Structure 1
Amino acid sequence: MPNDYACISVNSHCVAANNGPGYLCQCSKGYEGNPYLLNGCQDTDECALRKQNTKYKDLYPCTKGVCHNTPGSYFCKCKKGTKSDGTDFGCQSLHSPADKMVIGLSVSVTVVMALACLLLMQLQRKRHKKEKDEYFKQNGGLKLYDEMRSRQVDTIRILTEKEIKRATDNYNEDRVIGCGGHGMVYRGTLDDQKEVAIKKSKVISDDWREEFVNEIIVLSQINHRNIVRLLGCCLDVDVPMLVYEFVPGGTLSEFLHGAGCRSPIPLDLRLKIATQSAEALAYLHSSTSRTILHGDVKSANILLDDQLNAKVGDFGASALKSMDESEFIMFVHGTLGYLDPESFISRHLTDKSDVYSFGVVLLELMTRKRAIYTDNFNEKESLSYSFPLMFQKRRHLVMLDTEITDDAVMVVLENMAELAFI
């Protein structure tokens, strides 16, 4: 190329002159400026021009796409969900009208179903909450709240069923530590890591439901080292639940009669358990503002802690009476072999009923026989009947546990036997 070539700008070229010999310089397509100057031809930003004036939209088409400038040109990128060349025929949808209709219907149905599910869940939650509120009222929750506000009750904690389920791993069978005809007892761990025993009854009568909170109010005021402490309750369920302190050593019944290896139990330990249990019953009968009848005294309801101290528990069968009234309790709770004959016949429960049942527990401690046991002839016998009979014949020594029939302690055993019959 001759040194005197006039088109010195990059992106420029020459064209023949129209009116005589020679040539003219022009910037290449997509560039504009002065081709006779060094770097005089600069890139034309087609995308910017489209925004400045509508005439450029026809000159540089980009229908339904996104304009991107390039050196000397531009390209039109179709948006997501569309295809084709935006600079030519415009961007076209990837879906046909029929496809769009199907997609629209599908989305609409999905949205409607989701809204219906949300509405149903909301209605179920409201119904569930209403049901729980009704249970709470039926079980005396409002009355208990009033007592708590007036500080008549300040030691009871009201737990929700959700908290109870968390504590018992949703009533896991591995958590069961006791069961019977009336319900189950679970070992639970509350949110604060406190170990508790949760009593979940199967059914209750309407009469008992009415007295439930009254009994909780009285039992919450009990504070004795040999009585299992009531910690709380759950009222937002059909059958209310009780929450007690957890006593790790099991029951006296298991300690005396448990299966497996029979470990010796020294007399002083038996006397300690008897004394502590007696102190607990005496407290219930005479050391509170109103007499509290346990109603179900038996070795299975006397628990032992890790130091083998006795704790009288399970007040689910107890009833209350005023110290100033002679009115008897018109129902009887008990277990065969422990219930005194008078209460069984008259269907009247008194503090003497608890004392009688405790006498049977004393006999268990002395003999290590169950309240209803099997004799040498494989016959069922009642300890409360057979031992007094043998005592009258002065043959009761053969029924005593051989582990404690030492001559040095016979006086103590005789006194215990006599005490059991008072």
Structure 2
Amino acid sequence: MFLLLSSDVDECALRKQDPKYEDMYPCRKGICHNTPGGYLCKCKLGKRSDGTNYGCRPLHTTAEQVVIGTSVSAIALMALTCVLAMQVQRKRHKKDKDEYFKQNGGLKLYDEMRSRKVDTIRILPEKDIKNATDNYSEDRVLGIGGHGMVYRGTLDDNKEVAIKKSKVINDEWREEFVNEIIILSQINHRNIVRLIGCCLDVHVPMLVYEFVSNGTLSEFLHGTDHRSPIPLDIRLKIATQSAEALAYLHSSTSRTILHGDFKSANILLDGQHNAKVADFGASALKSMNESEFIMFVQGTLGYLDPESFISHCLTDKSDVYSFGVVLLELMTRKRAIYANSINEKESLSYSFLLMFDQNIHRNMLDREIMDKETMVVLEKLSILAANCLRPRGDDRPTMKEVSECLQMIRRHPMHAASDHKGDSSAHHNYEGSPSPSTAVHFDETIYKSIETSRLVQDLVR
């Protein structure tokens, strides 16, 4: 009796032995598990109890399964479509980049680099430029001008660079771009910002230059944060080094390179206030139509020489004139277009030449650098500036002559002061200057005949 009561019936085994036990011990669409004194009906994955504990049914109804199946299929189709679209877009993007590279002369540049054994510049893909600038982050912007933007970047080798991203260019300039790159790659001067590389797989090519840490001469002279005194010897050094850089561009390369946009904002300074001339890309601007000229003048207002106002064409003597304006900025610490005592805007070069002709130009000089020992030096610099600012380009000195004159003044400033102290003839001549026969005399009628003053006043308003 005891053995009979303690024995267990395996309902699950009976279900397998005879179909009649399936109705006696139901487990519809489930898995039968034997237990002492009974059994359990467990549901498979994707099914749930039918509410009787003896059967299972699908998690979803037929209608729900249709909806789910349709949704999954639609999602899968959309995902596949997106993947295909991304692949097509990636191929098209690569094709565009290849086309830009070819259009911007990338293949020609490779050939030129091989044939001339140019190894001083790098051709960088746009992804490297984006990485260097944090995808053109606003925090990386160094400056914005009429021709484009300049970003501060960090290349993969941790080299700090300045990346110039220009605005749209015309096809004629694009054809000359590779030639310009080759020429710029040959420039090697301590006072010229070095070209490191370029990016060609974009619509408008980008140039990558060395980064100079201490800002621009314009900021140094005219910055609003503070106005610390600047000794004359530092100003002379900056002027001399800038002149040497322009002289090198004009005469020491395979062909004459015009700066075309020389101004204090394009002279960079390092930690020791050494000058580095930058942004000399206007050499391709051989001539300009009316609209291009107006845009150009907006960026060079106060620095562009009178002849260029008429001809719309730049020459090496255009750079000489612009240098004369920068020299005045160093001597007066006034901007090229400055506000006078009654807050009217005036041209620094025009005002200086008017006062120079009346021998009262000393009133414009920065009093911080005026004393008995420096006055003759400042007088020589004034005469040099006036020569650079002559209305006719042919009457101006070359940048090589300007550079040699500044080197002489810088080497013997006190000697010059002692030799010429009280000598009124210093107003017309100096060591290294043009001969007395070509001494500066400002003819206001020449300026008025080409309406320089009116043009400047109209543009600054």
TM-score range, shorter chain: 0.7 to 0.9
TM-score by length of 2: 0.72
Post-superposition Cα deviations, 1:110-134, rounded to whole Å, max 9, x if no partner, equal 2112212222222222222222222
Q: 1:83 to 1:259 in 2, by over 3 A?
A: closer
Q: What one-letter code is carried by the residue in structure 2 that aligns with 1:342?
A: E
Question: Counterpart of 2:287?
Answer: 330
**Counterpart pick for 1:82 among 47, 72, 76:** 47
Q: What one-letter code is carried by the residue in structure 1 that aligns with 2:128?
A: E
Does 2:319 correspond to 1:319? no
**Counterpart pick for 2:341 among 376, 379, 384:** 376
Q: 1:62 to 1:157 in 2, by over 3 A?
A: farther
Question: Counterpart of 2:383?
Answer: 418
**CA apart distance, 1:28:** 4.0
**Counterpart pick for 1:297 among 262, 266, 283:** 262
Question: Counterpart of 1:106?
Answer: 71
Q: Contact conserved, 1:46 with 1:73, CA < 8 A, in 2? A: no
Question: Counterpart of 1:162?
Answer: 127
**CA apart distance, 1:170:** 2.8
Q: 1:29 to 1:367 in 2, by over 3 A?
A: closer
Distance 1:367 1:83 in 2: 92
Question: Counterpart of 1:406?
Answer: 371
Post-superposition Cα deviations, 1:55-79, rounded to whole Å, max 9, x if no partner, equal 6899899875556566798755321
Q: Contact conserved, 2:8 with 2:36, CA < 8 A, in 1? A: no
Which deviates more from structure 2 when the two are superposed, residues 382-391 or residues 266-275?
382-391
Question: Counterpart of 2:59?
Answer: 94
Which deviates more from structure 2 when the two are superposed, residues 310-319 or residues 371-380?
371-380
**CA apart distance, 1:197:** 1.5
Question: Counterpart of 1:197?
Answer: 162
Distance 1:305 1:91 in 2: 82
Does 2:90 correspond to 1:133? no
CA RMSD of aligned residues (A): 3.1
Question: Counterpart of 1:234?
Answer: 199
Does 2:253 correspond to 1:272? no
Post-superposition Cα deviations, 1:357-406, rounded to whole Å, max 9, x if no partner, equal 11221111111122222333444332222223322322221111111111
Unaligned 5+ runs, structure 1: 1-6, 15-26, 31-43, 321-328
Distance 2:260 2:18 in 1: 100
The number of equivalent residue pairs is 376
Q: Contact conserved, 1:292 with 1:319, CA < 8 A, in 2? A: no
**CA apart distance, 1:336:** 2.4
**CA apart distance, 1:91:** 4.5
Unaligned 5+ runs, structure 2: 388-396, 398-461
Question: Counterpart of 1:306?
Answer: 271
Q: 1:57 to 1:387 in 2, by over 3 A?
A: farther
Question: Counterpart of 1:172?
Answer: 137
Post-superposition Cα deviations, 1:219-248, rounded to whole Å, max 9, x if no partner, equal 122121111111222222222222211112
Say which structure, 1 or 2, has more relative contact order (CA 8 Å, 6+ apart).
2
Q: 1:252 to 1:79 in 2, by over 3 A?
A: same
Q: Contact conserved, 1:294 with 1:319, CA < 8 A, in 2? A: no
Distance 1:46 1:302 in 2: 94
Find the residue that maps to 2:96 and give its secondary structure: helix
Does 2:189 correspond to 1:224? yes
Find the residue that maps to 1:170 and give its secondary structure: coil
Does 2:113 correspond to 1:152? no
Question: Counterpart of 1:19?
Answer: none
Post-superposition Cα deviations, 1:179-232, rounded to whole Å, max 9, x if no partner, equal 122222222223333222122222222211221222112112212111111122
Question: Counterpart of 1:386?
Answer: 351
Question: Which of the two has greater strand per residue?
Answer: 1
Q: Contact conserved, 2:41 with 2:54, CA < 8 A, in 1? A: no
Find the residue that maps to 1:174 and give its secondary structure: helix
Post-superposition Cα deviations, 1:78-117, rounded to whole Å, max 9, x if no partner, equal 21112359xx976432322222212211211121122122
Distance 1:409 1:403 in 2: 11
Q: Contact conserved, 1:296 with 1:318, CA < 8 A, in 2? A: no
Find the residue that maps to 1:237 and give its secondary structure: coil
Distance 1:374 1:213 in 2: 42
Q: 1:310 to 1:58 in 2, by over 3 A?
A: farther
**CA apart distance, 1:172:** 2.5
**CA apart distance, 1:266:** 0.5
Q: What one-letter code is carried by the residue in structure 2 that aligns with 1:405?
A: M
**Counterpart pick for 1:354 among 319, 327, 340:** 319
What is the aligned-residue identity percentage? 74
Q: Contact conserved, 2:41 with 2:55, CA < 8 A, in 1? A: no
Q: What one-letter code is carried by the residue in structure 2 that aligns with 1:186?
A: Y
Q: Contact conserved, 1:201 with 1:240, CA < 8 A, in 2? A: yes
Q: 1:81 to 1:351 in 2, by over 3 A?
A: same
Q: Contact conserved, 2:193 with 2:277, CA < 8 A, in 1? A: yes
Q: Tell me which structure has the larger Cα radius of gyration.
A: 1
Q: 1:124 to 1:28 in 2, by over 3 A?
A: same
Q: Contact conserved, 2:304 with 2:322, CA < 8 A, in 1? A: yes
Matched ranges for 1:228-267 at <5 A: 228-267=193-232
**CA apart distance, 1:310:** 0.4
